[in-house]
């Protein structure tokens, strides 16, 4: 049962849900990476 | 033989000239075979695999690596980053030669090359993505020719025309950015027509975006790579500005490349998630996909960032080489490795040695043209008659 989708709605709900969570994580990660990239700019 | 004649003879038979000369002779013979015997005489192309390395390398990689032209001119003329001004002319020259060779390579690849102008004068086929690519490449090659021409006109001493074209710089830059955005992404859009032929890990409805973003990465890395080679081989041609700005260019472009690579990594992961392809990552294709994604996207992103933070130019320059290699692998994966992945092994494409020979011949032509122009025209220095008039 796990991982099997019977309808398009099930598939979209699952993939969109995972993708939205991922995007929030990526945006936070990008903020951290930007700080890592520029924090020594003033040296 | 006098000493002068001996010195001239010695400089003509330099290692570069000898190797390039041999490649050109072999290339001309292969060209003869191609145009007398047809595609079957020199390629392993078939109905299953109509696109080989002449498209995968010469066209897709060539166009991506020539993106340094629009990236650099946009940074300097549109975003006002004048501190990178000395990188513009070498980048425009690289892009112009790159696109010229792409068009030349197309003459080898299409069955009837004399019909290349047909989309413009006989039958428009405006519903085809290839028509859009053809129109953009033709127009952008013209734009690049115009952007490059001031250097040639300064060399030839044709002042009025040079001044007229220089006044068009901003318009040409805007036009170049628009055309590049269109056709870099359209090259990715070409593969949207074959969703069942391209492996799901590489196929995505976001392919046009992936192609455009990677072209920016390729352009930035190529400028660093080209600048490194130029400073090694053409340092005697460079003026003070070029020598002074080279470190700044590597740091600035390295930082931009790191940031764009991070964004590209993010949208690739989103692409896997949107298609729910996580389970494919444990297959053999998945492992190769991870090698590309981690080895040639995430790693260079990190090393660029470390190089910029530590102001370590050696790290940045080696990372640029690594990234250029990553772009080549990415285009090869999409066009050759992951394409027709479902075919049995004996139906898969592997390039004929003569296809590889023609590609090496075309790259060599580009290097010879670059060397010819860079040693004669004001590419790495400002012409004394036109200082501060760019």
For residue range B2-36, list pLDDT tens digits in order.
565 655 566 778 888 999 999 999 999 999 999 99
> Would the CB atoms of B305 and A15 count as touching at under 8 Å?
no
Interface A-B: count of C-beta contacts within 8 A: 38
> Would the CB atoms of A37 and B273 count as touching at under 8 Å?
no
> Would the CB atoms of B258 and A37 count as touching at under 8 Å?
yes
> Would the CB atoms of A37 and B255 count as touching at under 8 Å?
yes
CB contact set of B180 (below 8 Å; sequence gap of 6+): B67, B69, B70, B136, B140, B215
Q: For the segment B159-204, what is each residue's pLDDT rounded down to a tens digit? A: 899 999 999 999 999 999 999 999 999 999 999 988 899 999 999 9
pLDDT of B317:
95
Distance (Å, rounded) from C-alpha B374 to C-alpha B380? 7
B-chain residues near A30 (CB < 8 A): 262-263, 266
Residue A1 has pLDDT above 50, yes or no: no
Distance (Å, rounded) from C-alpha B288 to C-alpha B291? 5
> Would the CB atoms of B276 and A11 count as touching at under 8 Å?
yes
Taking the CA of residue A1 and the nearest CA in chain B, the distance in Å comes to 15
Taking the CA of residue B280 and the nearest CA in chain A, the distance in Å comes to 13
Distance (Å, rounded) from C-alpha B244 to C-alpha B238? 10
Distance (Å, rounded) from C-alpha B390 to C-alpha B76? 11
Distance (Å, rounded) from C-alpha B132 to C-alpha B60? 15
Minimum Cα–Cα distance from A38: chain B residue: B309
A-chain residues near B251 (CB < 8 A): none
A-chain residues near B204 (CB < 8 A): none
Minimum Cα–Cα distance from B259: chain A residue: A34
Per-residue pLDDT of chain B (390 residues; tens, 9 = 90+): 456 565 556 677 888 899 999 999 999 999 999 999 999 999 999 888 888 999 999 999 999 999 999 999 999 999 999 999 989 999 999 999 999 999 999 999 988 888 888 888 887 777 888 888 888 899 999 999 999 999 999 999 888 999 999 999 999 999 999 999 999 999 999 999 888 999 999 999 899 999 999 999 999 999 999 999 998 888 888 888 888 888 899 999 999 999 999 999 999 999 999 989 999 999 999 999 999 999 999 999 999 999 999 999 999 999 999 999 999 999 999 999 999 999 998 888 999 999 999 999 999 999 999 999 999 999 988 887 777 655
Distance (Å, rounded) from C-alpha B389 to C-alpha B256? 28
Q: How confident is the model at residue A3 (pLDDT cuts 50, 70, 90)?
A: low
B-chain residues near A17 (CB < 8 A): none
> Residue B64's Cα: distance from chain center in Å?
4
Judged by a CB distance cut-off of 8 A, whether residue A42 touches chain B is no
pLDDT of B5:
60
Q: How far is CA B43 from CA B35, B217, B349, B354, in A?
A: 12, 31, 10, 7
Q: For the segment B47-68, what is each residue's pLDDT rounded down to a tens digit? A: 888 889 999 999 999 999 999 9
pLDDT of B57:
92
For chain B, give the mean pLDDT. Answer: 91
> Would the CB atoms of B308 and A37 count as touching at under 8 Å?
yes
For chain A, give the mean pLDDT. Answer: 88
């Amino acid at each position: 049962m796990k991982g099997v989708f019977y309808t398009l709605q099930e598939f979209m709900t699952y993939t969109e849900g995972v993708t939205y969570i991922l995007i929030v994580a990526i945006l936070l990660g990008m903020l951290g990476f930007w700080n890592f990239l520029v924090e020594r700019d003033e040296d | 033989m006098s000493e002068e004649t001996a010195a001239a003879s010695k400089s003509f038979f330099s290692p570069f000239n000898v190797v390039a000369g041999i490649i050109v002779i072999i290339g001309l013979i292969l060209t003869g075979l191609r145009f007398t015997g047809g595609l079957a005489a020199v390629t392993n192309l078939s109905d299953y695999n109509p696109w080989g390395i002449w498209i995968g390398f010469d066209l897709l990689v060539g166009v991506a690596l020539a993106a340094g032209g629009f990236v650099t001119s946009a940074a300097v003329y549109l975003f006002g980053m004048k501190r990178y001004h000395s990188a513009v002319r070498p980048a425009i020259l690289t892009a112009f030669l790159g696109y010229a060779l792409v068009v030349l390579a197309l003459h080898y690849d299409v069955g009837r090359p004399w019909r290349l102008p047909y989309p413009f004068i006989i039958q428009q086929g405006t519903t085809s993505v290839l028509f859009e690519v053809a129109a953009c490449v033709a127009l952008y090659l013209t734009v690049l020719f115009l952007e490059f021409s001031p250097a040639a006109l300064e060399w030839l001493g044709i002042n009025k025309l040079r001044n007229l074209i220089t006044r068009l710089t901003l318009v040409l830059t805007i036009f170049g950015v628009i055309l590049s955005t269109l056709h870099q992404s359209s090259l990715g859009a070409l593969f949207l027509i074959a969703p069942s032929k391209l492996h799901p890990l590489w196929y995505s409805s976001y392919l046009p975006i992936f192609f455009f973003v990677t072209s920016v990465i390729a352009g930035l890395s190529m400028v660093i790579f080209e600048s490194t080679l130029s400073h090694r081989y053409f340092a005697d041609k460079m003026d003070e500005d070029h020598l002074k700005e080279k470190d700044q260019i590597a740091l600035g472009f390295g930082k931009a490349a790191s940031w764009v690579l991070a964004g590209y990594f993010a949208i690739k992961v989103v692409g896997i998630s949107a298609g729910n392809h996580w389970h494919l990552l444990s297959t053999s294709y998945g492992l190769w996909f991870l090698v590309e994604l981690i080895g040639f996207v995430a790693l260079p992103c990190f090393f660029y960032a470390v190089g910029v933070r530590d102001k370590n130019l050696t790290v940045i320059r080696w990372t640029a080489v690594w990234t250029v290699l990553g772009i080549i692998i990415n285009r090869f994966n999409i066009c050759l490795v992951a394409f027709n992945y479902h075919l049995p092994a004996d139906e898969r494409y592997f390039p004929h040695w003569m296809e590889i020979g023609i590609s090496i011949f075309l790259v060599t032509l580009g290097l010879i043209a670059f060397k010819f122009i860079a040693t004669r025209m004001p590419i790495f220095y400002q012409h004394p008659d036109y200082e501060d008039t760019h």
